[in-house]
Amino acid sequence: MVENTYGFLVDVSRCIECGGCEVACKREQGVERGVNWRKVVTVDEGVEGKEEHWPMSCLHCSDAPCATICPVDAIDQRDDGIVTVDEDECIGCGYCIYACPFGAPQFGRDGVTGSKGVMNKCTFCVDRIDEGKEPACAANCVTGAILAGDMTEITDEYKERVAKTGKPIVSP
């Protein structure tokens, strides 16, 4: 188990279901049409006062079940907690899809991602992280609903928001 230092927190009270995070992810990562590494899910749709929008993606779990079940060790976790996929090692078996409770691992529309026939998922924009930037979804969230980065820092932000509003923030 890796101690996560990077992760996401989502302030669902701020999400307006604009889809900016989905578009930013697709643009940054070149994710094909029909595949969503970041998607906004509506909960309690149509229920007055209860409807919420949750921007969902891979949570880069500290004990990632997708990495545990991968028979060829194509899924790995960096020291900072970011879960990555080695597309050259992936055999496309799909075990990770069944192991992940959040639906993060995905194949493309034709059952493959790209021409390799392998799975892929949110990368936490690892290239951007390595450059000292935040993931594209968080950087492009116009309402600041997606908090991403060092868990100590974003947890402090979370606590400040809860103190101001008195309402807990859901972290899907």
CATH classification at residue 42 = 3.30.70.20
End-to-end CA distance of the chain: 20
Give the highest mean pLDDT range of 3-12, 26-35, 135-144: 135-144
Look at residue 1 and tell me if it is in a domain.
Answer: no
Domain count of the chain? 1
Q: Tell which phi-psi region holds residue 95, choosing left (phi > 0), alpha (psi between -120 and 50) or beta.
A: alpha
Q: Which domain holds residue 132?
A: 6-165
Look at residue 134 and tell me if it is in a domain.
Answer: yes
Dist. CA 17–CA 37, nearest whole Å: 16
pLDDT given at position 70: 96
Which among 9, 22, 1 is positioned nearest to 141, based on CA atoms? Answer: 22
* Residue 160 confidence (pLDDT) above 70: yes
67 versus 12: which is more confidently predicted? 67
The pLDDT-based confidence of 27 (bands split at 50, 70, 90) is very high
SS3 27: helix
Q: Where are the beta strands (DSSP E) in 111-172?
A: 146-150
Look at residue 110 and tell me if it is in a domain.
Answer: yes
Instruction: Give Rg (Cα) of the chain.
Output: 16
* Residue 117 confidence (pLDDT) above 80: no
- The mean pLDDT of 46-51, rounded to a whole number, is 83
Look at residue 171 and tell me if it is in a domain.
Answer: no
Q: Is 115 exposed, middle or buried (0-12, 13-18, 19+ CB in 10 A)?
A: exposed
* Residue 110 confidence (pLDDT) above 60: no
Least confident piece of the model among 55-64, 74-83, 112-121, 128-137:
112-121
* Mean pLDDT over each residue of the chain, to the nearest integer: 86
* Residue 115 confidence (pLDDT) above 50: no
Look at residue 45 and tell me if it is in a domain.
Answer: yes
